[in-house]
Structure formats: structure tokens, C-alpha cells
């Protein structure tokens, strides 16, 4: 049985989570966002997502979040879809974010539930459905048990997949089998996208539609090449690229994710600054590891993948 | 060796975490806060803390938090000290809160570190010290591994106890032995207060100075009576009261804490409303259990503890 | 870079963990073991492993374990390799098991470390190396963080892969990315096999050599068909079979594994009995789910996969 | 309400878990056990327990366990009660141990449930009740969530407290509030004893009857003095001793428990040997810490507590 989505969905391909460059006064650096978006789009990415984990949404106040979405939408200028991250412990705050970003012109939202007190399943469901009801946009559900501590059961995902706005799910557990279970039980009503904790080539083989990824900021061309190989089912070639990309992820799993992506982008010449305190920047050794991984990536890139 | 604090500290006795009553538009109900504060102060509590876990700080936006502190300070009007809860994942936001509440006239702050990405110990330390540096007020460190996921090592607490503003720690693990370790290693430089997950009589016997507690909103007179027995070392009497109070905590450990305290206060006639969504109110059975526990408490209260 | 093993290894293909049928006196039912082995070998499996988790090794005394290995070796009679599970908290006991099973004629051992007190990495390493030194057989390391609570770091696995007897690793986490990391860092010195918590088709695509699996007892022909498709890189066909087989795993993840496999084998006519107490047999509903999954499997099996 | 036990129970006072000294051939060193028991009894302990966690029961085979109980019963010779540790994942094995130790003359058993596959509550209950039915001896239930991973709900403990042989519970969580809940809900039908993860003075104040403890091997006189102070409700004196003893526990919580107690006993002149591999002995620094703590204890002991 082929897994097909009856409903068109904008969530597909390689979608980098971009970082949020802020200066010491907390001001979003629009120029840096612009350059990063330009280069990612030139590299062929299929969408851009501000305010993911990598985008340090949790460390920003609402004004900064709103401004970051505004800046990104303007920078991307319709070349690819922009999906904004929406997340809160509170229904009201999440609905506010969703409506606000819709007004700013995003093409979809990626919604997570932050946690404080433990919630029952019906409370979790009410959060996501209430946000989905607040907008006229495609929505992806984002579940990340290690940061948000709210796990979504397959049954809950299956029920939510029946809402007209909920078109995709991005699962950031490390459990790839769970993705296959979601695909099977949702019968194609929602698309599944991988996170950087999964092996994209595997998820694509199982029927995934792409991946949201912080590390894709650092290796957009290789990521797009991998995606194309997967779509064209050229698996041996896909796996060659996959193995290189996985070595990037291994580094990032050892350190603070935002510090890694920001540190790596600094290496590549983007003045994105340090992660937001109390998060510290990478120490010297970690920075060297990230630099080395990036250098290897460029070196190992087939000529056609490199920039002009 | 007696555990004595060389520095005067306002953190002592029974300090209820008060709930945050909001209407459907998110407006803080000042009149309800006022009545609750009046009654708690009449019952003899030694301080009042808005914006704790019970106060649903995590579910409020910054405007609501600021307003709640303002309303509480005004309601209490200097009769007992007011300690405001300060918590964020971000240093900048926590420093802002701390300064803001100092300007509003609080007598101290209780500082927690919310978590998103895991932090190293030096990052955790920088958060607390940076907040302590931002104010001219006594500060209590609040550690709650189950909600904030950041545990503080004894060594870290020992180092922080040397900051002139850091005068107390409130530990909300269930590990009572940890409190004795903190007392021993900090050599009296900071006071230890219990949370509702500890048995106050035990913590007092070990040298604790009091307890911060959501459930104390529902049983302020019994809590104060327990405190007085402990201070006067009338242990058998203390334990009789303790056993009754513990039955309240047992109920609350089974359900959402804010829902329990708000439900219990509604039973007692305070129109505090429901917890903030997606948290649901207590279901019928839980509400009945809370009502029953409150009724037993009143019934079991020695005549002299009851209100006039 | 192709992942190739320089050293021949017997660990490959579909290797069912067989159950341990015991009567009420604790006696191993040799006739049942014999029938099960015959049928699995007829179905094309590439090896047989007694004393895995599914084989309830943890619930057997050493006499029963020894007898189970003896009975299996005799039943298999050299048609496929037999790998015996070795596991203990104690080095001495594990070495004894390993030598004992070598004397009984097994073709390899699969070694796990049970846990009691937490161990440091050098203690963990000494356990595995000490067992490897005790034998003249190929050995697979078996790591199962959810049951044995000892996780093996990639660095530790890399070091162990240099021992001449250690030829394979079977990782029973749900983290498929970890398998790719192991493959990369061990540079082909040891082979990686999947567990039933992974999707075999994915692991094979990444360079895996096969899988150890309890559920393969119930679907040996489909499992072998899947393996063959993977080896021949017929991925779309592989995935069709994979989706069916995954539905079996989903059921088993919800219940006690031994109870599921024993219950399923009873459904198929093997009198393997109940799991060893205090484990209870499947309740009526779970038994019906298992029966239904097995029925669907048989129904969906292409004609050529069914028995003659 | 005073917590009184209607039924006489031998489980009370200070009950050291003794270590299991084995030579390189795995032979129990009866002479060392004898000397240790003599000295502990001279120091005033109220019972002796072989085969606890500290006794490394998990690392011994059944022959060694049986021999250890035999040797201990003979050494103690009726001067104080002997309670043998019983633990397994299997009902049958646990029942065998219990009957075997009864035949060897123990005065009671302390029963834990080791875990492999997760169990439901009725399976857990069947294990304990089945062991209780197998003997004509008082039995204590031992629950240790960190090593055995099976937690017992208060409801389950309450039900088990109605079995005529089940007279006590020893809870080795760090959650002291849980002990008060057990006392309240079991209404005096079973006695509660502390573990070394609790503060004995607190548990005694709440109504506990004593404590099972590995560290008591190293500080028997101070432990007995603490117990006597508690029984006589001389709390300030109790707390002075308690603070000293807690510093011993703090060290032990940082390292392997068996390694600490064996290392400490070696310091005191008992040739108990190293912990059983793969557990390593204490490293040099840890050994020095243990030695220092023991030296301080002896120094701080009031003259009347020291040996003649």
C-alpha cells in the first residue's frame, strides 16, 4: 500500500530551522537573517522555519518572536514557504502566536506543547485542536519528548490527523519505528517529517516527506542532494551522503544544539552571535569539532553540490 | 552543632503559595486575591508568595505576572513579607522580573530556573548569581527537579550560599536527606525551607526554618499550629497535626496541583476559578476527595485553631 | 564507503529468539523445542538463539538454562548455527555460562550484562572482554538499555570491536541512528544486527547484517522474505512486507514480550505453555489481538511464502 | 493516634546488612563473618541480615547464598534474630530461597522482587503473597525502586499488610513522605523500617521501628546510640548523632555501596576482600574519603559508645 496524502501539504523536503541572531540588546539582526535565508534558498531548501528549538524560541520573549517571524517572512519573500514555530504551556498564548504569525504572512505553523504540570491526554488534545481552530493555515504538530516532555500517543495523533488544518507531524524522538506506526495508523491523512534525531534516508524510505532540521543550516546543499536521491530512490547514493551528514548530527547530539548551529554558522561567516544566556557558547574543543565536521562536509561534497 | 543563620532572613515560617485567579479575559481578580491574603494573614501565616508553581506562573504572560505581584503587595500592605516567584529559561527575562518586582515593593524573591536545552553546572550557576546581582533584596533559590528538570548539586548550592543576597533554599524534591546534606554543607549560611513534598515536621526537626506550600492556602491555621509546635519542640503534638496535614498533600500529589488548590479554595468559598487551560479543572471524583479532606481538616481542628 | 566485515561472522540473517517451554515442575519440553526448531529452519531462518529475553533467561535457573541449550543444539543438529544467550551481573557466572555452552556445541554466544549496582565504563568493559577471553567462539554483544539498564557508549563498543572474538553487536534500544553511529565508528570490524525494536528494513539499508528477534518465531517466512528482499535491494517489495511485520511488533510492544510470543505460538499450535510466574499469561483481549495479527499475517502472505 | 503494631514483630532496631566475604574461588569466609557478627552484636545491634544489596546477593549463586545464610545463623547463634534476604525475578526461585533459609533457622526473611520484564500490579502482588505463603516466618517486604525497578503502590502495600506473615516493610526510596503515607494507610498492621537513603531520626519520629542499613556495619555503636535516643525521644541528642552518621551515608551514595562497606570494613581490620567483579574496589581517593569518615566517627564518639 502506497502512503499517499489526499490533501496537498506545504510541509515537505528539507526545511531548516534557522537560528535567531540577537545582539546584546536583544534586537533581532535582520540583515543576518536575510543573508542566511538567501543562501539556504539558493542551496535549494524547500522551506524555512523560524522559532524552532534551534531558533531558541524558548529563550525569546513574545516581541522578539514576532519580530523574528516578520523579518523571516520579509527575507524569504515568497521564494519558499515559511513555517513559524508556535509553542507554549498555555492554550491562549499559543493561539495568540498562531494568529499573529498568520497575520504576518507565514505559510504554515509548527506547533509544540511546552510542559509544566503533567497533562492528561484530553488536555493535550484540546491544546493542539484549539490552536488548529484558531487559524486558516496548514499546521504541523511537533512532538519532542526530550525537551517538551509531552509525548503524544499514536491514538492521539490518529485522532488529530482528522482535523482539516493538521497536515503533518514532526516527531523528534529517536524512535524511528514510531514514525512507521504513525504512518500506518494515520492512513495518509497526515504527512510525517523527520527530525535531526532520525536518519532522514530511513524515514524517506518508509514514506516520510522530508525533514525539519537545525543542522541543515550548515549543510543545505548536501541535505537537498540527499532528499533528491531519496525521492528518486537512488538509495546507494543517498546512503553515501547520509553517512556524511550523520557525522554532523553526532557532534550536535553531544552539545547544546543552538550553540552548535550558531557556532557552525559563525565558522561559515555568518555573524549570528552566541546562544542566549545562560546557555554558553561552545567551548574551544567543541568549536574545533564543529569546524572540522563542516570542513569535511565541504571537502566531501561532490562538485555539483558546491555553490557556484 | 546548632544550625544558626548569621544573617537575618525574612524567609521563615509558613509561606503559602497563593493561586492566581484570572477571569476569561485573563484579568487578575484583585478582590479575590485581597480576600485570600486577608484570611491567610488572619490565620497567622508568616509570608505570602505569588507566582509559585501553584500560582501557575508558567501559564501567565509577563503582564499578568507583574499585575499579580502588584495586586498582592497592595493587598498584603506590609502585614507580612511578600516574596515573588521569579523563573525563566533566560537570564535576561529573570533579571527583568526580579528588578520589576523589587520596584513593586516585594520583600524578597524566590528564584527558579526553567529548562529547555540541558545546561552545564556553570551555566546554571551563572543564572542564579546573575539574578542575585540584579537586586537589593533577599533571595531564595527554588529547585524543583520534577517540574524544572534542573537539579542543583550540593556543591553548587554551597557556592551560591556565599552570595550576600542568597539567603534561603527551597527544595521541592521528595528527598528529605538532601535537605540535611544542604544544611550540613552550607554551614548555616542559607536557611532551608521545605516544600509540600516534604514532611514539614521532619524538616523543622532537622533545622529547617519553615515551608513554602500551596496546600497551606487550604489549611493555614493547622499549618501555623504545626509550625508553632515545631518551634517549641512539642513533637508529639506536632505529629498529630502533621498526620492530618499529610493527608491533604497525598490527595494533591495525585492530581494537578493548581487544580487542587483552586478547587479547594472554591469549596471554601473563594471564587478563584479554574486552572488555566489546557489544564482542566478537577473531575467530579477528585473534587469530592478534596472537599472531603478539607471537611475532615476543619472537623479535626482543635477549637483554638479555628477562626473566631 | 561500503561497510564490509573483514572477518567471517556467523551472525547474520533472521535469527529467532526461541521461547523456553517449561512444565509445572520446571522441566524443559524438549519435544516442543524440537518441533519449533524444525519449523523455523524449514521456513528458512539463518540461526536459532535460545536464552534471549524472549527465552526468559532471566527467569530460569542455571540448570534449566544449560538444559535448554543442550536441547536446542540437539534439535537443530547443525542445520543452522545456534547462538546461546549469556547474561549475568557477575563476571564469574557469565564466564561459566559461556564455557558451558561452548562445551555443549553452540556456534556463538550473545552476551548481555545484567545490572544491579551502577557500573563505571571500565567495569562494563571488563565484563564483556572477560567473557570474550573465556571462549573460542564468535561472540555478539547484546545491549538492551530498557531491560539491562547498562548502556554502552559508542567509544566502548569501538574498543570492544577490536577483540578477535567479538564479531557483532545487537542493540535493542529504539534509536536507529545509534546503529549507524556504531557502524561508522567501528569501521566494519563488527557487524550490526537489529532488534525487534528497530525496523529491520531500515537497518539493512544502513548496512546491517540481519536481526535477532522474538517475534520472528511467529512470522519466520515473512521475516526471511523481508531479509531476502533487503539483501537483493528490492526495497519497495521489502517495505510491503515490513509494514505487515511492524504491526506484529506494535502489539508486542504493548504487552509482556514472552507472554506475547508464547501466546502466539500457542495460537499456532505449539504447546509452549505460559510465561514463568510472576509473569501472567496474556489476558483475553491481548490474546485476541495477537491471534488477529497472526491471522492477518498468514492471510497477507504471498502464496510462495506459505508452508507447503 | 499512636501507631502501634497489634502483632509482635522481630523487625526492629538497628539491623545491619552484612557484607559477603568471598575468596577468589568464591568460598564464603566463615571466620570473617563470625568476627563481624560478634562485634556487631557486642555493639548492641538488634538483628543481622545477610543477603541484602550490601551483601551482594545479586552477584552470588544460590549455593553461595545458602552457605552465607548457614554461616551467619551459626555465627549469630541466637543472640539476635537473623533475617535473610530473599530476591528473584521468579516466584519459584524466591519460594525456594525462603523455604531453604527457614530450614536453616533464620528468624525472618526480607523479600525483594528483582525485575526483568515490567510487571502489572497483580503480578507483583502474587509474587510477594506467594512467598509469604511458602513460609512460617515473619516477613518484611523490601522495595528499592532504584535497584529493583519495581515500585509498590501504597494500595498494594496496604493489601499485603493483611497477610499474617507480612509484618514489616523496608522502603529504600529517598521519599520520606512515602513512609508516613504507608504508616497511615496500613493502620499499624505492618511496621515501617528505614533504609540508609532515609534519615533514621526522622523515620523514628514518624513512628518507624528501626532501620536496615549497610553503613551500620561501620558505625554500629553510633547507630545503636541514635536508636536509643529516638526511642527515648531525646531528639536534640539524637540529631547530634544523626548529623555525624549522615555524613557517612553521603559518601556511600556517591560510590558503589558494596565497595564502600567492604572498603570501610577493610579499614577497620576485617579482611572482607573486594566486591565481586565486574564491580571494582574503591579507587584510592574514594578509599581515603571512607577512611576519613570512619576516623571522624570514632573520634566523635562519646566515650561510652566506644568498645571496651
Q: CA nearest C158: which of C178, C124, C187?
A: C187
- pLDDT confidence tier of residue C302, bands split at 50, 70 and 90: very low
Cβ distance of A258 and B118 shorter than 8 Å: no
Specify the pLDDT at position A306: 41
Angle at A113 between CA A107 and CA A116, to 5 degrees: 155
User: Which residues is A108 bridged to in the sheet?
Assistant: A83
Cα dist from A69 to A27, D229, D254, whole Å: 13, 66, 48
Can you tell me whether residue D141 is helix, strand or coil?
Answer: strand
Instruction: Quote the CA–CA distance of C88 and C51 in Å, as a whole number.
Output: 12
Specify the pLDDT at position C80: 98
Is the CB of residue B197 less than 8 Å away from at least one CB of chain A? no
Cβ distance of A53 and B278 shorter than 8 Å: no
User: Long-range contacts made by residues C230-239, C-beta under 8 angstroms, separation at least 24?
Assistant: C230/C200, C230/C201, C230/C204, C230/C205, C231/C204, C233/A235, C235/A205, C235/A233, C235/A235, C235/C201, C235/C205, C238/C201, C238/C204, C239/A205, C239/A206, C239/A207, C239/C201
Task: Give the distance, in angstroms, between the CA of residue C22 and the centroid of all CA atoms in the same chain.
Answer: 19
| Chain B: residue whose CA lies nearest to D184 | B243
Is the CB of residue A146 less than 8 Å away from at least one CB of chain C? no
Average pLDDT, chain A: 92
The C-alpha of B299 sits at a distance from chain A's nearest C-alpha, in angstroms, of 31
Q: What is the pLDDT of residues D283-308, one digit of tens each?
A: 999 999 999 988 988 765 444 344 43
Give, rounded to a whole angstrom, the gap between the first and last alpha carbons of chain C: 42
User: Which residues is B48 bridged to in the sheet?
Assistant: B82
- State phi, psi for B85 to the nearest 5 degrees: -75, 135
User: Which residues is B111 bridged to in the sheet?
Assistant: B86, B141
Residues of B with CB below 8 A from D173's CB? 174
Instruction: Quote the CA–CA distance of D63 and B49 in Å, as a whole number.
Output: 60
Residues of D with CB below 8 A from C119's CB? 278-279
Cell numbers for D205: 519520629
Average pLDDT, chain C: 92
Q: What is the pLDDT of residues B159-169, one digit of tens each?
A: 999 999 999 99
- pLDDT confidence tier of residue D146, bands split at 50, 70 and 90: low
Cβ distance of D278 and C92 shorter than 8 Å: no
Cα dist from C15 to C139, C193, D75, whole Å: 14, 10, 51
Mutate to test the interface with C, among D278, D280, D281 (most CBs of C within 10 A): D278
Specify the pLDDT at position B124: 95
Q: Are A203 and A231 in contact (CB under 8 A)?
A: no
Sheet holding B13-16, edge to edge: B13-16, B210-213, B191-194, B166-171, B139-143, B108-113, B83-88
Average pLDDT over residues B299-308: 45
- pLDDT of B147 > 90? The answer is no
Sheet holding D83-88, edge to edge: D13-16, D210-213, D191-194, D166-171, D139-143, D108-113, D83-88
CB pairs under 8 A between A and C: 78
The C-alpha of B103 sits at a distance from chain D's nearest C-alpha, in angstroms, of 39
Q: Are C187 and C177 in contact (CB under 8 A)?
A: no
Please name the helix (run of DSSP H) or strand (run of DSSP E) that holds residue A123, with its range, or none: helix A121-133
Average pLDDT, chain D: 92
Cell numbers for C8: 567471517
Domain ranges of chain B: 13-232
Cell numbers for A251: 557532534
Average pLDDT over residues C277-302: 86
Touching chains D and A? (3+ Cβ pairs < 8 A)? no
- pLDDT of C300 > 90? The answer is no
- State phi, psi for B93 to the nearest 5 degrees: -65, -40
Specify the pLDDT at position D248: 86
Cβ distance of D246 and B180 shorter than 8 Å: yes
Higher pLDDT, A44 or B172: A44
Please name the helix (run of DSSP H) or strand (run of DSSP E) that holds residue C264, with its range, or none: helix C257-267
Instruction: Quote the CA–CA distance of A229 and B5 in Å, as a whole number.
Output: 68
The C-alpha of D26 sits at a distance from chain B's nearest C-alpha, in angstroms, of 36
Q: What is the pLDDT of residues A154-169, one digit of tens each?
A: 999 999 999 999 999 9
Is the CB of residue C90 less than 8 Å away from at least one CB of chain D? yes
Q: What homologous superfamily does CATH list for C13-232?
A: Aldolase class I (3.20.20.70)
Please name the helix (run of DSSP H) or strand (run of DSSP E) that holds residue C134, with its range, or none: none
User: Which residues is C170 bridged to in the sheet?
Assistant: C142, C193
Cell numbers for A285: 574543543
With b for 16 or more beta-carbon neighbours within 10 A and e for fewer, the A201-229 pattern comes to: bbbbbbbbbbbbbbbbbbbbbbbbbbbbb
Is the CB of residue A276 less than 8 Å away from at least one CB of chain B? yes
Q: CA nearest D211: which of D74, D52, D70?
A: D52
Q: CA nearest C9: which of C132, C133, C144, C137?
A: C137
- pLDDT confidence tier of residue A2, bands split at 50, 70 and 90: very low
Which ipTM score applies to this complex? 0.92
Q: What is the pLDDT of residues C119-129, one digit of tens each?
A: 999 999 999 99
User: Which residues is B59 bridged to in the sheet?
Assistant: none
Q: CA nearest A120: which of B168, C29, B281?
A: B281
- pLDDT of C11 > 90? The answer is yes
Instruction: Quote the CA–CA distance of B185 and C28 in Å, as a whole number.
Output: 57
Q: What percent of chain A has pLDDT over 70?
A: 93
Of C1, C177, C207, the CB nearest to A197: C177
| Chain B: residue whose CA lies nearest to D172 | B175
pTM of the model: 0.94
- pLDDT of B303 > 90? The answer is no
Specify the pLDDT at position B300: 54
Q: What is the pLDDT of residues D36-93, one digit of tens each?
A: 999 999 999 999 999 999 999 999 999 999 999 999 999 999 999 999 999 999 999 9
Can you tell me whether residue A207 is helix, strand or coil?
Answer: coil
* Number of helices followed by number of strands (H, E) in chain D: 12, 7
Mutate to test the interface with C, among A173, A177, A233 (most CBs of C within 10 A): A177
Q: What is the pLDDT of residues B54-97, one digit of tens each?
A: 999 999 999 999 999 999 999 999 999 999 999 999 999 999 99
Cα dist from C76 to C44, D69, D231, whole Å: 13, 42, 66
Mutate to test the interface with B, among A117, A121, A124, A126 (most CBs of B within 10 A): A117
Amino acid at each position: 500500500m502506497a502512503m499517499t496524502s489526499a490533501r496537498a501539504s506545504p510541509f515537505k523536503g528539507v526545511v531548516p530551522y534557522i537560528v535567531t541572531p540577537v545582539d546584546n540588546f536583544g534586537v533581532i539582526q535582520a540583515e543576518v537573517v536575510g543573508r542566511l535565508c538567501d543562501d539556504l534558498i539558493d542551496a535549494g531548501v524547500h522551506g524555512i522555519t523560524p522559532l524552532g528549538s534551534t531558533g531558541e524560541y524558548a529563550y525569546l520573549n513574545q516581541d522578539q518572536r514576532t519580530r523574528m517571524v516578520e523579518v523571516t517572512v520579509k527575507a524569504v519573500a515568497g521564494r519558499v514557504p515559511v513555517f513559524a514555530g508556535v509553542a507554549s504551556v498555555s492554550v491562549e498564548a499559543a493561539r495568540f502566536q498562531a494568529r499573529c504569525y498568520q497575520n504576518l504572512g507565514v505559510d504554515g505553523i509548527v506547533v509544540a506543547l511546552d510542559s509544566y504540570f503533567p497533562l492528561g491526554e484530553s488536555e493535550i488534545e484540546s491544546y493542539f485542536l484549539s490552536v488548529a481552530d484558531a487559524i486558516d493555515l496548514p499546521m504541523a504538530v511537533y512532538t519532542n519528548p526530550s525537551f517538551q516532555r509531552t509525548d503524544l500517543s499514536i491514538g492521539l495523533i490518529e485522532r488529530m490527523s482528522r482535523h482539516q488544518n493538521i497536515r503533518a507531524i514532526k516527531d523528534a524522538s529517536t524512535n524511528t519505528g514510531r514514525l512507521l506506526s504513525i504512518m500506518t495508523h494515520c492512513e495518509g491523512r497526515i504527512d510525517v517529517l523527520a527530525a535531526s534525531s532520525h536518519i532522514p534516508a530511513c524515514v524517506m524510505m518508509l514514506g516520510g516527506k522530508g525533514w525539519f532540521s537545525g543542522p541543515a543550516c550548515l549543510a543545505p546543499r548536501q541535505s537537498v542532494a540527499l532528499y533528491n536521491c531519496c525521492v528518486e530512490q537512488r538509495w546507494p547514493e543517498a546512503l553515501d551522503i547520509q553517512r556524511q551528514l550523520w557525522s554532523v548530527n553526532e557532534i550536535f547530539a553531544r552539545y547544546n544544539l543552538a550553540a552548535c548551529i550558531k557556532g557552525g554558522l559563525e565558522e561559515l561567516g555568518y555573524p549570528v552571535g552566541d546562544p542566549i544566556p545562560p546557555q554558553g557558547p561552545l567551548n574551544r574543543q567543541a568549536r574545533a569539532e564543529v569546524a572540522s565536521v563542516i570542513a569535511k562536509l565541504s571537502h566531501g561534497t561532490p562538485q555539483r553540490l558546491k555553490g557556484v
